[in-house]
Amino acid sequence: MKNPVVYLDYNATTPVDPGVLEEMIPYFSVKYGNSSSRHSYGFEAESAAKVARKRISALINGDPDEFYFTSGATESINIVHQGVAKAYSSQGRHIISSNIEHPAVIESLQYLKQNGFSISFIPVNSEGLIDLNQLGREIRKDTILVSLMAANNEIGVVNDLEIIGNICSEKNVLFHTDASQALGKLEIDVMKMKIDMLSFSGHKFYAPKGTGGLFIRQKKPQIRIAPFFFGGGQEKGIRPGTLNIPSVVGLGKAAALCMELFSEETKRIKSLRDQLFEGLKKNIQGLVLNGSYEARLPNNLNLRIKDVRADKLMMELRDLAFSTGSACASGSDKPSYVLKALGLDDESVYSSVRLGLGRFSTSFEIDYTINRITEAVNKIRNYPQNKRN
């Protein structure tokens, strides 16, 4: 019997949790009202959206009135960057980010740069971490926004959001974080961490693709976002358009499950990740972790294997689903800019793979993965052309 493919790409996307799907189904065909309609079907849909808004807000310790539904992190990030730039340009035109942000952040900020804004991309060290002292020094009188991710999508390295939030608050600068990789895996508290705006995608934590959200603080301080979508007035004009109620319901249920399962799930997944890392390190010489081990998501490993190109490894491992980098950059033959930012040469970058675990990963799958990767590495290293070298 052929073995099923072991899924090891949870940082790219997650399957919809069965409990999420079950809660969504009635809103496709039975509870199909438009939440803007003023009759029983509409009120039912509106009520479902309110429940979802409360569930998601609880996950980040925010106020439901400060949360907005979007199609995902990319849209949310653009709303933040373009909306803040337009609303606060009279106060300054300088924005700070890092050089390993998601393309949605980098490209949105590059657009602003082309339109007269000054953008500072802080470099990271070999561990993938920014110098927090440098962040403080980079903030100027004309700085209006700091936009830094909670956790990196490729190497899984985590920023200290509380320290960053305090720095921004003391300097009276707005703080936005892309929490797509962190939500459901790390504790996120927008109040404690003094986060002014937070964006995320639902498909990273077992909700449907095409769902996401945006937190915009409305109290101490009240953040102004200039809209650049128009028509209908939904979501207080920030993101007008008819709400996708089935997906909104799914997003809320996924958030509720993350809260319910958080402690046990995080501990279990981290244990599996450590089992995988230790097993591979024991069996494979020349295996190195990319990025910090301590400041890392509990489900992520980004590894480079000496003398083994990642594309050749993938060819040998059709029974494992993993990534050679970010899925958002798939199709590109350029070396990962995130790994290059760590100081790696091209050979090391092309020898790197990302392994992501999740809710449905098992210990059996981890043992199987250790054995299969070990076999494949030994086979590649014994290719005649490699032996000649």
As given in the structure block, the two tokens for residue 288 are 């190195």
For residues 145 and 97, is the Cβ–Cβ distance under 8 A? no
pLDDT digits (tens, 9 = 90+) for 341-385: 999 999 999 999 999 999 999 999 999 999 999 999 999 999 876
**pLDDT band with cut points at 50, 70 and 90 for residue 228:** confident
For residues 60 and 215, is the Cβ–Cβ distance under 8 A? yes
* 389 pLDDT more than 80: no
**pLDDT averaged over every residue in the chain:** 95
Q: What is the pLDDT of residue 78?
A: 98
Give residues with Cβ within 8 angstroms of 265, minimum separation 6: 359
**pLDDT band with cut points at 50, 70 and 90 for residue 327:** very low
As given in the structure block, the two tokens for residue 277 are 């890392």
As given in the structure block, the two tokens for residue 324 are 């050679």
Query: What are the C-alpha distances in Å from 23 to residues 157, 256, 272?
Result: 33, 12, 29
Q: What is the pLDDT of residue 246?
A: 97
Q: What is the pLDDT of residue 220?
A: 85
Question: Cα(249)–Cα(20) distance, rounded to whole angstroms?
Answer: 8
pLDDT digits (tens, 9 = 90+) for 243-285: 999 999 999 999 999 999 999 999 999 999 999 999 999 999 9
Give residues with Cβ within 8 angstroms of 54, minimum separation 6: 64, 252
Cα R_g (the chain), whole angstroms? 22
* 1 pLDDT more than 50: no
pLDDT digits (tens, 9 = 90+) for 33-55: 999 998 999 999 999 999 999 99
* 3 pLDDT more than 80: no
Q: What is the pLDDT of residue 114?
A: 97
Q: What is the pLDDT of residue 2?
A: 55
Mean pLDDT score, 119-143: 97
| Three-class HEC string of the chain | CCCCCEECECCCCCCCCHHHHHHHCHHHHCCCCCCCCCCHHHHHHHHHHHHHHHHHHHHHCCCHHHEEEECCHHHHHHHHHHHHHHHHCCCCCEEEEECCCCHHHHHHHHHHHHCCCEEEEECECCCCCECHHHHHHHCCCCEEEEECCCECCCCCEECCHHHHHHHHHHCCCEEEEECCCCECCECCCCCCCCCCEEEEEHHHCCCCCCCEEEEECCCCCCCCCCCCCCCCCCHHHCCCCCCCHHHHHHHHHHHHHHHHHHHHHHHHHHHHHHHHHHHHHHHCCCEEECCCCCCECCCEEEEEECCCCHHHHHHHCCCEECECCCHHHCCCCCCCHHHHHCCCCHHHHCCEEEEECCCCCCHHHHHHHHHHHHHHHHHHHCCHHHHHC
pTM passes above 0.85? yes
Mean pLDDT score, 136-153: 98
Phi, psi of 259 (to 5 degrees): -65, -45
* 388 pLDDT more than 90: no
Q: Which domains does the chain have, with CATH numbers?
A: 6-14+262-388 (3.90.1150.10), 18-257 (3.40.640.10)
Q: State the catalytic residues.
A: 328
* 180 pLDDT more than 60: yes
Mean pLDDT score, 213-218: 97
For residues 57 and 251, is the Cβ–Cβ distance under 8 A? no
pLDDT digits (tens, 9 = 90+) for 182-200: 999 999 999 999 999 999 9
